[in-house]
Amino acid sequence: MQPRRTWATLLALLVAAMLLNPLKAGAADDAVVVIIHKDNPHAIDRNYLVAIYTGRLKGWPDGSPVFPLDQSDGAGARETFYLHFVGRTVANMQAVWAQNIFSGKGLPPKIAAPDSEMKRIVAANRNAIGYIRASEVDDTVRVVLR
């Protein structure tokens, strides 16, 4: 009876891991990537991205303003972006932004959905940053984080 329980436990853990990590369960082209304007020279890391999307930073390293974009509620890319890149759920981020608004620290990112709209806005605005599915990337934008 013990081996049967072990297999059932392992199977349950495998299923839970796949559900909690949508990037690994899907195809590589469905992964979410962070994009900026193709002529924006800045290289950013995950910590800088988190600071932008939590409202702690409002500018690029050269001091120019940053224009973060977000996808709409319920978008799969949004859920994946916040879990994979920011390390928080969408609900956690809504709480962060509610606190930022209440304390006067800033407003949440503007909504741009679907991927094509976000890509179009980022391609047209040198200070914009956003995220789209990897399969939607073309030469109008530059990927800074995968």
- As a whole number, the mean pLDDT across the chain is 86
Residue range 31-145 in CATH 3.40.190.10: yes
Q: Does position 3 have pLDDT exceeding 70, yes or no?
A: no
Burial letters 120-136, b for 16+ CB under 10 A, else e: ebbbeeebbbbbbbeeb
**Domain assignments of the chain as residue spans, ordered by start:** 1-27, 31-145
Quote the tokens at residue 129: 């940053």
Tell me which amino acid residue 89 is.
T
Q: What is the pTM of this model?
A: 0.79
48-70 residue pLDDT tens: 999 999 999 999 999 999 999 99
Mean pLDDT of 109-134: 96
Query: How far is it, in rounded angstroms, from Cα 114 to Cα 128?
Result: 16
7-44 residue pLDDT tens: 555 445 444 455 455 444 445 558 999 999 999 999 99
Q: Cα separations (Å) of 91 from 12, 81, 129?
A: 25, 13, 21
* pLDDT reported for residue 74: 86
Quote the tokens at residue 53: 């999307």
